[in-house]
A and B are shown apart, each in its own frame.
Chain A
Amino acid sequence: MDIPYTVEARPDTGVYNAKVGIWLFLSSEVMLFGALFSAYVLIRVGTPAGEWPHGWQNLTLGTLNTVVLALSAITTLMAWVACKIRQFGKFQFFHGCTLLLGLTFLCIKMVEYHQHLNHYEIHLTDGRIADGDMLQNNPKQDYVVIKGRYAAYEEDLYDLRAQKNLKETEIKIPRSQIKDMQSYGPWHNDYLALYFTLTGLHALHILGGSIVIGYLWGPGRRLWKTDPERFTNRVEVSGLFWHFVDLVWIFLFPVLYLT
């Protein structure tokens, strides 16, 4: 006996096996991200008034990435449609686009991570705080150079929305004056912890999805010749996953970038 309904739908449930599987998997993913979002809510609500960061993200890059993912949602759909109407060339084109868009997303994300990790908050011995992008941080030199500004209190660094036209200058700080220096990594505060964890997990999903899509676009395409229906199912299932990952971003973007 072979396993039934691997390709054709079971009459009373109306679906083939893998489709049930992916929907179940996605429901567990909803719980995974749901738990992380509830962590976000709990931690944000518990933060003392005025200490939740605003405007810490590069909105241009964030918006760009949103557009990239939105486009990729369209191309995955088109790829599946192309399979359905049995036009393999079109499928290859659209699926290739999805792959490129996915990789573009990841590259942009890397740039954003780099910007955060290269941004430093430096507490000086005289009580002031210097805050800005690191330009020179060579252990052999006894000073560091940042492009940024001074702040008197930590509170001044939280809400950047109103401080659009900050004057940023190059500041040279001797190491002897540095009391404490910390980059804007996940360790910096809970907002960044959430940002890195949530977007990191999301990026891993994009990576996983890209690998699957790359497989179907590359070595996996052999199946088209022998069993196009089954291949189409695979494209559909990978597309469902991809749409879910897009959807997660639609929640992440406002929650981390806009509010």
Chain B
Amino acid sequence: MDAIVEQFPPYREREAHAAHDGHAHHEPGFWRGCVFSTDHKVIGIQYGFTALCFLLFGFFLMLMMRWQIAHPGQPVPVLGPLLEKMLGPTQAPKGAISAELYNSFGAMHGTIMIFLGVVPLAFAAFGNYVVPLMIGAPDMAFPRVNMASYQAYVLGGIVMLVSFFIPGGAAQAGWTSYSPLATSIPTDGQVFWLIGMILLITSSLLGAVNFIATIIQLRAPGMTWLRLPFFVWAQFVTAFLLLLAFPPLEAAGIMQLMDRVAHTSFFLPTGLAAGGQLAHVSGGGSPLLWQHLFWFLGHPEVYVLILPAMGIVCEIIANNTRKPIWGYKSLVYSTLSIGFLSFIVWAHHMYLTGMGTKIATFFQATTLAISIPSVIILTCLLISLWGGSIRFNTPMLFCLAFLPMFGIGGLTGLPLGLAPADIYLHDTYYVIAHFHYVVAPGTIFALFAGIYYWLPKMTGRRMNEFWGRVHFWGSFIFMNVVFMPMFAQGMEGMLRRMADGGANYSAARVPGVPDTLPNDIMALHTWILWGAMCLGLAQIPFIINLFWSLKHGEETHSDNPWQATTLDWQTPTPPPHGNFAQVPRVYRGPYEYSVPGHDTDFTPQNEPEIAKPAAPRISTPAH
């Protein structure tokens, strides 16, 4: 393999060229440097900052929804008057959340968290900042496309936000926007949602093309495929998922937009009645078509949410156990299989549509099949801990918590993958608990870990350890306080998306009726509400820590404070425009920690092979 690697032209002409026009030393001004930058690191930070803002916003939407669920119809404390002022008395009468507003918040919470928060942070922010550094590239393959991708994302976000303030309010049909509901609800919020989504999809597509091309084309000499850090593999597969799964949703979005704007009937069946009247449409469309197209994206999308997180966790675990990742190749092949399989499981979200047993069997089989590589990845990461002398710093704590949390989320997915169980559990809080366990204490923990881990590279300063730990333990405990009870609620049959939190079906409201929601199950709402508030409080140390450490954090005095092996740590801090002073050359795999006979317990990927000493350094006793 090395022989092939040697054939690379070692960039000689290019280096000479760069040196002579002084390109590498040119630092752009504020507008070019910070707002319209084409530098992958700046774009990564832009993405990261924007996405964190959206995550916070989505969190507040959720807090207000939790209030409404626990205390239906009562004015929201503190924020209530503001709501009424901004959204008007029909949406928020006397500061309470109307059912329509609850639906808007629900739809937008999901949309914002997934498409404007987690994916931009996990894929675009970390991917942009870290991937080119890790593969030893000077930038992304198409820097201007990269900038356009960020701009489309911001534009999409603005469209989504503006939709709250139009008459009728934001979209109300859930993040899944099922037709005909989405088409019939009388608010143009849905149109805004669709246009926003088309912009976000465009942004993802541009990003995905860029990532894949960068990883294929710009790997440094010697960076063969199996020397790529696992994080890069994870981003590579994620980019393919975005590239191929998003267009069908874009197609569906265009058709739903036509349904709303040009009064077509792609998703509207014959004889559709809305608001008690026969809808004035030509009919003949298929509501199931929307569901198929949506979930064809929807399922790969959940792996878009989780794979980058797994990549981050893998890097941090290798670094903090100071030993090679166990089963690097298994990780890579599992990720590739997840990539393929995630395109053929989508209908497990649709068991209730009456697809017939044969088709259901197919999708049950593929769903169980895809959990195998997921379990392999988790197992590899778990076994990697074995026998390591683990450094328990904040990023590592978050990663360690990721493993059981993702485990809970994944395992509770299995009953959902089996139609007989899912027919009961579908659309209950059990599903909510399942996917939040994978995304919230799963993915978002990994993202926190990534921020604590890579911030020293971005700024040259560490975040405060003590407050990092406070943030970790607060988040860890209250995440579970929030989401664990939802399993119980779901198994009792509490449905999701109810503006009164199920009060109308509670034993307290309709006593004596069988199968109502018992009081203790309803009482969990209060638990969850307090849990969610405390979870919010636990984020305050993080926010302050983040901003404080930008200026005042402990300086690292090193380009490689974690003593890591991958190339992202072998650059100046923060990396300049163009990243590397010279083109790095890669000599080894990504996780050469504690190599026997080596002076340090880590061997960077670009450290040249030293000629082996003739005699072993530590002499072994002769037999």
Q: Name A residues whose Cβ lies closer than 8 Å to a Cβ of B.
A: 1-5, 10-13, 15-18, 20-21, 24-25, 27-29, 31-36, 39, 42-43, 46-47, 51, 185-190, 193, 196-197, 201
Contact = CB atoms under 8 A, between A and B. Distances in A.
Nearest to B257: A197
Given A33-B251, A39-B251, 16 more contacts: A1-B580, A3-B141, A12-B8, A17-B141, A21-B209, A24-B213, A28-B246, A35-B248, A39-B289, A42-B289, A42-B292, A187-B265, A190-B284, A193-B262, A193-B265, A197-B255
16 contacts: A1-B15, A1-B18, A3-B141, A4-B11, A4-B218, A16-B217, A17-B142, A20-B213, A24-B243, A35-B250, A43-B289, A186-B258, A188-B282, A190-B265, A193-B282, A197-B254
A31 to B, nearest CB: 4
B493 interface: no
Nearest to A29: B247
B252 A21 contact: no
Contacts of B234: none
Given A1-B138, A2-B14, A11-B7, A32 B248 contact: yes
A184 B9 CA distance: 61
A28 B239 CA distance: 11
A123 to B, nearest CB: 13
B266 A39 contact: yes
Contact of A32 (B138, B212, B247): B247
A45 to B, nearest CB: 10
A21 B11 CA distance: 21
B578 interface: yes
B251 A47 contact: no
B304 interface: no
Given A4-B14, A39-B251, A43-B266, A31 B244 contact: yes
B290 to A, nearest CB: 9
B286 interface: yes
B217 A27 contact: no
A34 B218 contact: no
A22 B7 CA distance: 26
Contact of B282 (A25, A39, A189): A189
A81 to B, nearest CB: 25
Contacts of A196: 258, 262, 264
B23 A10 contact: no
Contacts of A188: 282
B27 to A, nearest CB: 15
B315 interface: no
A31 B289 contact: no
| The 10 nearest A-B residue pairs measured at CB | A193-B264, A35-B248, A1-B138, A32-B247, A35-B251, A31-B247, A187-B263, A1-B578, A20-B213, A17-B141
Given A2-B138, A4-B14, A21-B142, A10 B217 contact: yes
B243 A28 contact: yes
Given A21-B213, A27-B244, A39 B293 contact: yes
A224 to B, nearest CB: 20
B32 interface: no
A185 B261 CA distance: 12
Given A185-B262, A186-B264, A190-B284, A2 B18 contact: yes
Contact of A25 (B205, B245, B250, B293): B205
Contact of A187 (B23, B248, B282): B282
B217 A20 contact: yes
Nearest to A194: B266
B18 A28 contact: no
Interface in B208-266: 208-210, 212-213, 216-218, 243-248, 250-252, 254-255, 258, 262-266
Contact of A28 (B9, B244, B262): B244
B141 A189 contact: no
Given A35-B293, A39-B293, A46-B284, A2 B248 contact: no
A193 B14 contact: no
B7 A12 contact: yes
Contacts of B580: 1
Interface string B291-319: 01100100000000000000000000000
B139 interface: yes
A197 B244 contact: no
Contacts of B293: 35, 39
A193 B258 contact: yes
A1 B210 CA distance: 18
Contacts of A18: 142
Contacts of B7: 11-12
Nearest to A37: B251
A43 B17 contact: no
B513 interface: no
Contacts of A34: 247-248
A29 B247 CA distance: 7
The residue in B142, B244, B282, B583 that gathers the most chain A C-beta atoms within 10 A of its C-beta is B282
A197 B264 contact: yes
Contacts of A43: 266, 284-286, 289
A17 B247 contact: no
A20 B212 contact: yes
A204 to B, nearest CB: 10
A196 B23 CA distance: 49
Nearest to A190: B284
A140 to B, nearest CB: 26
Nearest to B251: A35
Interface in B90-141: 137-139, 141
Contacts of B611: none
Contacts of A20: 141, 212-213, 216-217
Nearest to A39: B289
B584 to A, nearest CB: 10
